[in-house]
Amino acid sequence: MEEQNTQEKIQNLLTQKAVIKQKIYDNTLEVFNMIKEVLREIEIDYNIKLKGIDKRVKLEYNDRGKYEAEIKVAGDLLIFSMHTNIFEFDRDHSIWKLSYVRDDVMNSYCGIINIYNFLADSFKYNRLEDLGYLIGRIFVNREHHYFVEGKRQMGFLYNNFGSAKIDKQALRKIIETAIMYALEFDLLVPPYDVVKIASVVQLNTKIENAKLQTGKRLGFRFNSDDVLEEQ
């Protein structure tokens, strides 16, 4: 009898939760493909507007594979990366305050698309020690509802989970907000004490591949509440 109950529970999990997770994966991949389309459109639209200004100041889109895409904006690089797994939120997350989630826990399961900001030169010169930052992440559920968590304006615009479905218009707004944030998030001079000593290996490496560690907030902690504190 106990074995039968176990088999029934496994069957229920496979026919309910597992099926829903597969649906969420399909939705997230569909959204990610829309992101690629929007990135191409943004590249074309802005390069037309920037024509004749400075050939180095332009947008460059690159498809990095099924689950990654990037857009270079002048000296910044935004990388969009879709996670292949489906996630649940911990019980302290504010999402549980929404009746949409409380009424049906299955609405809380989401796929994730991360948005990272790197310096374009970090990849150009193969500076493997350079730092990038997660500036936003897009959550998509089984009903194509979404919300965005992120830094500053990235996280304040989208608190309508359960009412708005994601589409290309919403994605363009998200992407342009991410671009704006990256352009306003400047590279700071690292504190003197952090870089006052360098080894022969570091300098030889720098000469060969410019690999001294660089990041937009080198020497500072990049906190979730966007407060920059000196280490």
Residue 44 lies in a domain: yes
Of the two residues 164 and 109, the one the predictor is more confident about is 109
Q: Does any domain span residue 217?
A: no
* pLDDT given for residue 66 in this prediction: 96
Please tell me the predicted confidence (pLDDT) of residue 51. Answer: 86
What confidence score (pLDDT) does residue 1 get?
54
Q: Using the predicted structure, report yes or no on whether residue 227 has a pLDDT greater than 50.
A: no
Q: Is residue 231 part of a domain?
A: no
Mean pLDDT for 150-157 is 63
Strand pairing partners for 230?
220
Between the two ends of the chain, the Cα-to-Cα distance in Å is 60
| 45: in domain | yes
- Asked if residues 137 and 149 have their Cβ atoms less than 8 Å apart, the reply is yes
In a domain, 207, yes or no: no
Q: For 89-109, what is the mean pLDDT?
A: 91
Contacts 24+ apart (CB under 8 A), 86-90: 86/21, 86/24, 86/25, 86/28, 86/110, 86/111, 87/111, 87/112
Considering the domain boundaries, does residue 203 fall inside one? no
| The pLDDT of residue 3 | 62
Look at 34-38, 80-84, 187-191 and tell me which has the smallest mean pLDDT: 187-191
Q: Are 112 and 82 in contact (CB under 8 A)?
A: yes
pLDDT band at 9 (very low <50, low <70, confident <90, very high): confident
Q: Give the tokens for residue 170.
A: 């919403």
Residues 6+ apart with CB under 8 A from 200: none
What share of the chain has pLDDT > 70, as a percent?
A: 74
What tens digit of pLDDT does each residue of 39-49 get? 999 999 999 99
Q: Is the pLDDT assigned to residue 210 strictly greater than 60? A: no
Distance CA 100, CA 105 (A): 8
pLDDT for 190 beyond 80: no
Q: Which domain holds residue 81?
A: 2-185
Dig out the tokens for 59 from the structure.
Answer: 């947008």
Across the strands, what pairs with 111?
86, 140
What pLDDT does residue 214 have? 57
114 within a domain of the structure (yes/no):
yes
Q: Kindly tell me the sign of the dihedral angle through the C-alpha atoms of 117, 69, 179, 34.
A: negative
Q: How far is CA 151 from the centre of its chain?
A: 11
Within a domain: residue 157?
yes
How many domains, the chain?
1
Pairwise CA distance, residues 114 & 137, whole Å: 4
pLDDT tens for 103-146 read: 999 999 999 999 999 989 888 888 777 788 898 999 999 999 99
Picking from 197, 194, 195, 186, the residue whose alpha carbon sits closest to that of residue 228 is: 186
Mean per-residue pLDDT for 27-42? 98
Using CA atoms, how far apart are residues 114 and 174, in angstroms rounded to an integer? 12
On the question of pLDDT at 101 being above 50, the answer is yes
pLDDT number for residue 163? 87
